[in-house]
């Protein structure tokens, strides 16, 4: 598991560095989105949240950013290309949480 729930909030697994030996950004992202409740959508490389189908995410590995979408409103959140696995997970969790909360409050 890349993430764990703590006090009702998903956070990076404190032991994540010990299980990141198999990972590329692509494999990390695919595991991460599933753990966070997203599923592959009918759109290529777009993952839609299972509890709110207006919320989706995709990643651009070549440019180093997450693309979040909520009801036709989009935001790109950059991450450093040389980022480590644990920091990559943390950035995704924080970015997705912040974007979703901004769109729904």
Three-state secondary-structure class, residue 80: coil
Per DSSP, 65 falls in state E
Give the pLDDT score at 20: 64
Residue reference for tokens 């912040």: 98
Give the pLDDT score at 45: 93
User: How many CB atoms lie under 10 A from the CB of residue 96?
Assistant: 22
pLDDT, tens digit (0-9, with 9 covering 90-100), for 19-71: 666 678 888 899 999 999 999 999 999 999 999 999 999 999 999 999 999 99
Q: Taking 80 as the threshold, does the pLDDT of residue 18 lie above it?
A: no
Give the pLDDT score at 22: 60
- Give the pTM: 0.88
Mean pLDDT of 69-96: 93
Question: Among residues 74, 80, 1, which one has the least CA distance to residue 43?
Answer: 74
């Amino acid at each position: 598991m890349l993430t764990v729930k703590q006090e009702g909030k998903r956070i990076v697994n404190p032991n994540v560095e010990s299980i990141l030996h198999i990972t590329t950004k692509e494999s990390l992202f695919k595991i991460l989105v599933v753990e966070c409740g997203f599923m592959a959508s009918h759109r290529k490389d777009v993952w839609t949240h299972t509890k709110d189908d207006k919320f989706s995410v995709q990643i651009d590995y070549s440019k180093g950013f997450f693309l979040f979408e909520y009801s036709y409103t989009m935001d790109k959140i950059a991450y450093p290309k040389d980022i480590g696995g644990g920091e990559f997970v943390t950035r995704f969790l924080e970015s997705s949480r912040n974007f979703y909360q901004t769109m729904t409050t």
